[in-house]
Structure 1
Amino acid sequence: MVFGLRRLTPSTIRPLRVERADECAAIHASGFAHPWPAGELASLLADASTIGSAALDPATGRLRGFALSRLAADEAEILTIAVDRSLRGHGVGGDLLREHLSRALFSGARAIFLEVDAANVAALALYARFGFAKVGERKGYYRRPDGSAATAIVMRKDLA
């Protein structure tokens, strides 16, 4: 018998709607030291340059996680990816990222960028699996809850 995390039924990925801003804010708050409030998320979702993807439980429609990117010309930037804390390590992030990258390409992005905390080993591994490469660092970019500075790793992936 193998012990550890089991993969969930793959998520259904759909466009993220502004009506889910409150749910997104709750998920974001569970994973980030400085979470975005529902109003800020709603504003992003209402912006035509934003791509929002929702990972949903296929049986219940419950929001498992979400991704937001912003398009500018032929590039996109992943603004945030957040997965319900209780579902991390079960493949939700991979399901979400796979479809989100396809949506960015379909929307005209030829490359996509992101910043990730250098201490976020799980996220760095996920992005590496999807072909993102480190292209820079931003020292002191993030603030931890204790006030100390954290380095952001800047990553890029060519989509086309």
Structure 2
Amino acid sequence: MIGLSFGPFARRNFVVEPLDPADCPHLQQIHAQTFQHPWSEEAFHALLGQDTVFGFIARLEGRPRSAAGFVLARLVVDEAEILTIAVSPAMQRKGVGHALMDAVLRHLHGERARTLFLEVDQANSAAQALYRRLGFIKVGDRPAYYETREGRSAALILRRDLAPR
């Protein structure tokens, strides 16, 4: 379990732990709250069954079967990608996304990964701000990638180098 406190006075009401297949119903529920086209519980089970996929879940402190958010990532050789990250609407802007990404970065450091990629909706300014603070840079885009209620939106492709190339 990764304890969380950002600074001497900060106190978080969640903890971050590695994902377990038993978490799939929670993952599907949060994904459905945050994405227009949510993944199924079966899709999460299939992903977690792959050797290259790992992830973390933020649980409300004192509630071991709760979920405030999660992240799924894939590592192949020395290159990683965020497959999806979602934070329940009630827990957004409370440090959950940052803590989840920090857990991924720590894991990848231990695995000696060199690069981490992700895609983010160009309309998601809050997520983009988080990724900038974490050292990601834009390396490309995918026009009309996401289907939204307002039409189509581009995906920005971001990269963070984790080790010297």
- Cα distance in 1 for partners of 2:99, 2:58 equals 8
Aligned twin of 1:59: 62
- Structure 1 unmatched runs, 5+: 1-6
Q: Quote the offset at 1:104 in angstroms.
A: 2.1
Aligned twin of 1:153: 156
Aligned twin of 2:5: none
Whether 1:144 aligns to 2:148 is yes
TM-score by length of 1: 0.90
Q: Quote the offset at 1:11 in angstroms.
A: 2.9
Q: Quote the offset at 1:107 in angstroms.
A: 2.6
1:17-59 deviation digits (Å, cap 9, x = unpaired): 1111011000001001111111001110111100111111222
- Equivalent position SS for 2:154: strand
Segments ≥4 residues shifted beyond 4 Å: none
Paired residues for 1:1-160 under 5 Å: 9=12, 11-61=14-64, 62-146=66-150, 148-160=151-163
How many pairs were matched up?
153
- Structure 2 unmatched runs, 5+: 1-9
Aligned twin of 1:4: none
Aligned twin of 1:3: none
TM-score by length of 2: 0.88
Is the CA contact 1:10–1:92 (under 8 Å) kept in the aligned structure 2? Answer: no
User: Which structure would you say has the larger RCO, counting Cα contacts within 8 Å and 6 or more residues apart?
Assistant: 1
Matched residue type, 2:85: I
Is the CA contact 1:139–1:152 (under 8 Å) kept in the aligned structure 2? Answer: yes
1:77-123 deviation digits (Å, cap 9, x = unpaired): 00111011111011111111111111122233211000000000110
Matched residue type, 1:158: D
Measured on the aligned residues, the alpha-carbon RMSD in Å equals 1.4
